[in-house]
Each structure stands twice: as C-alpha cells, then as structure tokens.
C-alpha cells in the first residue's frame, strides 16, 4: 500500500514538473523596460521614431496612470505586484517604521535589500514558483536578501552602469541554452528622471534624454534581430511616473508652521510624512497646519481621499502632507538646499496628467496598430501572468479584465 502511494506521488510530481516545462516552452519571451520619469506626452515631440514604430505595429496607451504617491520605488513595486503602495508596503523612497525604528532609504543598500519592507509578491516570485525562469537587469525589489524572492538571474544596481552594457546583458541571457533562458526580463533606465529633476521637463536636456532612450529601443530591436528572437519577444515599455515644473518660489516650510518639538519629518518635495512622538499633540499640530493650509493639503491617514488608496499603512505616519502640483513642502534644513526646488519633480496627485507615464507594447502577444485610453499600472502584473500562463496572487488590486483587451484574440 505504501509503495503504491509513493508511486502515485512520484507520478504526480513528474506530471507537475513536465507541465511546468511544457508551459515554459509555450510562452513567449517578455522584456519589461522602465524609463524612469518618462512623461506620457514625451513621445509627442517628434523625436521618437522607435516609439512611433511600436505605435504603428503594437499597442500604445494614452497614458499609464501611476499609483499614489507618484514616486519611483512605490510605483515600480506596484507594476510588478499589482498592488497599491499601501498594500505592498513600499509607500515612499524613504520610509520610517515606528514599530521597529528602522529607516528605509533608496540609498541604503542594506535596507533596499531587506525583504522585511516588501509585503507584496513580485512577478518574478510568482513566475519562479510556477517553473518560469526570470531575470532582472535592475528593478526595485529585485535584490532582496532572500534568495527565493529574487529573480533567477539578477544584477545589483549600479547607477552609472553603461546603457549599452545593460542591453548586452539582456541579450546574453537570451543566448543561454534554451532550458536556461529567462522567459521574463526587466530592464531599467533613469535618464529622463535624472534630467527632468535637474533641468525640468521642458528643457533641451530632457529632449536629448528622450531621443537617447528612443535610440536604445532601436539598438535592442537590432540585437534581437541578430539572435533571431525578435518575433518571439514581447517588449513592454513603461514609466513609473511623469514630471512637472517646480520653482523655489513655490515652497512651504511645513516644519516652521507645525512648530512641534516631538515631530519627525520624512520626505520632502511633493509629499511629507510626519510622525509625532507625543500623541496628544497630533490634533494641535494638525490644526496648525490646517489653519495655514495654502498650496498644500494636510490629512490624518484615515481622512486621505479614498481614490488615493493610501490610508491603511502605519508607515504613512500621524499626519500626511501633499503639496499642490508644482509646489514643494519641506523643513527648515531644506532652506539650505533650495537648488533642489528648481527644475522638475513628481509625487503629486496621480490624477494630475503631468504625473502620468507611458505604456507601449509590441510582440507576439499584443494587438497591432492598437491605441487605447489610460491604463492603471496595477493591471500590468495580471497581464504579465496571463502572458506567461501562470496563476496570479489573489490578493492583488489589479484586474486582468481592465487590460486584457490589448492582447491578441486567440485564433
């Protein structure tokens, strides 16, 4: 009896492994590229021939609506988890956890790699559990210190890594023996974000960045042609958020208005999280900021507008401040860094169109010459699951039916 049971278990395990291998062979390759800070209308400037090609032969959305707040790490994680920041846990680039007294910062490598902060399951985790090989040439969350939560292959982030070297890395993965090749790959570039912050979205420097990133698409197409895989690859190009003009003349010193010794202020620019050690002061500080409310809004977490999906997380703080588009909030120390408040910024209300990014897709899974309206970034995770024929997590906020219409109809 025991022998028969063992045989049944072995047969079932073999069937599952075989199914995983067959499933992996049937799906196309997919490369997900992020152009950080690439605003939704940057491709309307007449300097992006490769984007124009994708629009003619693939899918273009009017815009990609980011999750709130419109900040880099929260939105990259939303794209690959299908969850709002309040649910996947990465609510800002800098986060203070009062429960542990831990501080997360995108410049702190140890914290960025600490799995403690990442509550959502990322697409490479979902795929890996179901037998799909994955890879990441940079993406927030891809370097976690738990091996089983990382992509099969990954590169540790280097901000100055040569742009063409990144493409070479992707191509080298696709040249691996068939059974070792990743079916899903991420690729990341910061250029439009960096130049947008420094010079503003309407600058010549940003135009140069747009043209350079567009040229990289052409390089990738050519390299895929060289290895004879272009027709087998889905290319999805997104951005985490847009960019808008700011000015040092549009600045509010929230710390000065709050006049609170037990307050800790985290983040600046478009948003600010305030933690108040002496809880009996919360109402008093809130009232002070409310009375002076001009060019910003102050909220208790439970009163943050429902459409932001940003109220149910202890990392938000005791009070949350949101600047009006184009304005900045900060502290007294920030007065010494006023040069940071010229150029461009993001983080504002995600309904503000300047905060919207791009969504382009081309390849065997996608319709051709198809344009659609605005897509929400939380719907990309279930789309990727559909393309890879894997089962998505059930606790996500995204919905496949809100994006599946861009896929080719099955014949």
Q: How far apart are CA 330 and CA 371, in angstroms?
A: 40
Q: Taking each helix axis from N to C terminus, what angle separates 72-81 and 380-388, rounded to the nearest 10 degrees?
A: 40
Q: Which string of DSSP letters, residue by residue, matches 188-239?
A: EE-HHHHHHHHH-TTSHHHHHHHHHHHHHHHHHHHHHHHTT-GGGEEEEEE-
| Contact present, 90 and 73 (Cβ < 8 Å) | yes
Q: What is the pLDDT of residue 271?
A: 98
| Token pair for 174 | 């696709």
| Contact present, 176 and 152 (Cβ < 8 Å) | no
Of 385, 404, 365, 55, which Cα lies nearest the Cα of 233? 365
Q: What is the pLDDT of residue 337?
A: 76
- 69 cis-preceded (ω within 30 degrees of 0): yes
Give the sign of the dihedral formed by CA 317, CA 119, CA 239, CA 353: negative
Helix, coil or strand: residue 345? strand
Long-range contact list for 108-115, CB < 8 A, 24+ apart? 112/140, 112/143, 113/143, 113/144, 113/145, 114/144, 114/145, 115/144, 115/145, 115/146, 115/149
Helix, coil or strand: residue 47? coil
Q: What is the pLDDT of residue 20?
A: 46
The question of whether 72 is a catalytic residue gets the answer yes
Q: What is the pLDDT of residue 6?
A: 54
The model's pLDDT over 53-65, given as tens digits with 9 standing for 90+, comes to 999 999 999 999 9
| Contact present, 376 and 362 (Cβ < 8 Å) | no
| Token pair for 178 | 């068939």
> Which one from 72, 126, 152, 186 is the annotated catalytic residue?
72
Q: What domains are defined for the chain?
A: 27-245+361-406 (3.40.720.10), 248-341 (3.30.1360.180)
Sheet with 184-189, edge to edge strand ranges = 153-154, 134-137, 184-189, 29-35, 233-238, 359-362, 59-61, 370-372
Q: What is the pLDDT of residue 24?
A: 59
Low-confidence residues of the chain: pLDDT under 50: 1, 9, 11-22
Q: What is the pLDDT of residue 83?
A: 99
Other Cβ atoms closer than 10 A to 23: 16
Sheet with 263-266, edge to edge strand ranges = 263-266, 271-276, 319-323, 296-299
Of 122, 164, 163, which Cα lies nearest the Cα of 139? 122
Q: What is the pLDDT of residue 341?
A: 82
Q: Taking each helix axis from N to C terminus, what angle separates 49-57 and 204-226, rounded to the nearest 10 degrees?
A: 60
Of 347, 387, 410, 395, which Cα lies nearest the Cα of 184? 387
Helix, coil or strand: residue 45? coil
Q: What is the pLDDT of residue 9?
A: 47
CA distances from residue 200 to 64, 192, 246 in whole angstroms, order as listed: 20, 10, 8
**Whole-model pTM?**
0.94
Q: What is the pLDDT of residue 254?
A: 98
Within 13 A of 297's CA, how many CA atoms are on the CB side?
Answer: 11
């Amino acid at each position: 009896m025991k022998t028969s049971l063992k045989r049944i278990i072995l047969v079932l395990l073999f069937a599952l492994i075989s199914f995983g291998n067959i499933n992996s062979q049937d799906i196309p390759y997919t490369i997900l590229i992020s152009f950080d800070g690439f605003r939704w209308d940057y491709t309307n400037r007449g300097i992006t021939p490769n984007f124009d090609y994708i629009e003619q032969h693939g899918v273009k959305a009017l815009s990609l609506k980011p999750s709130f707040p419109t900040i880099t790490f929260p939105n990259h994680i939303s794209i690959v988890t299908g969850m709002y920041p309040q649910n996947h846990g990465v609510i800002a680039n800098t986060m203070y956890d009062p429960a542990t007294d831990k501080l997360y910062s995108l410049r702190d490598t140890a914290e960025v790699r600490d799995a403690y902060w990442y509550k959502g399951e990322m697409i490479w985790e979902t795929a890996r559990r179901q037998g799909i090989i994955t890879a990441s040439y940079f993406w927030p969350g891809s370097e976690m210190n738990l091996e089983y939560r990382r992509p099969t292959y990954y590169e540790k982030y280097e901000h100055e890594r040569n742009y063409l070297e990144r493409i070479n890395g992707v191509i080298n993965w696709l040249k691996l023996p068939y059974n070792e090749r990743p079916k899903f790959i991420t690729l990341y570039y910061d250029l439009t974000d960096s130049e947008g912050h420094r010079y503003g979205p309407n600058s010549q420097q940003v135009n140069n960045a747009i043209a350079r990133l567009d040229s990289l698409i052409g390089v990738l197409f050519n390299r895929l042609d060289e290895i004879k895989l272009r027709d087998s690859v889905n290319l999805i190009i997104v951005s985490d958020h847009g960019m808008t003009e700011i000015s040092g003349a549009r600045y509010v010193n929230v710390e000065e208005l709050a006049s609170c010794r037990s307050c800790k202020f985290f983040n600046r620019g478009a948003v600010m999280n305030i933690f108040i050690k002496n809880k009996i002061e919360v109402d008093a500080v809130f009232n002070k900021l409310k009375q002076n409310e001009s060019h910003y809004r102050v909220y208790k977490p439970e009163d943050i507008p429902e459409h932001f999906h940003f109220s149910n997380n202890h990392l938000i703080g005791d009070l949350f401040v949101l600047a009006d588009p184009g304005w900045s909030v900060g502290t007294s120390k920030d007065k010494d860094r006023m040069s940071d408040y010229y150029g461009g910024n993001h983080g504002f209300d995600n309904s503000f169109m300047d905060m919207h990014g791009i969504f382009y897709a081309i390849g065997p899974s996608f319709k051709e010459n198809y344009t659609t309206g605005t897509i929400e970034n939380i719907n990309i995770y279930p789309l990727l699951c559909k393309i890879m024929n894997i089962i998505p997590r059930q606790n996500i906020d995204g919905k496949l039916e809100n994006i599946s219409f861009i896929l080719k109809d099955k014949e």
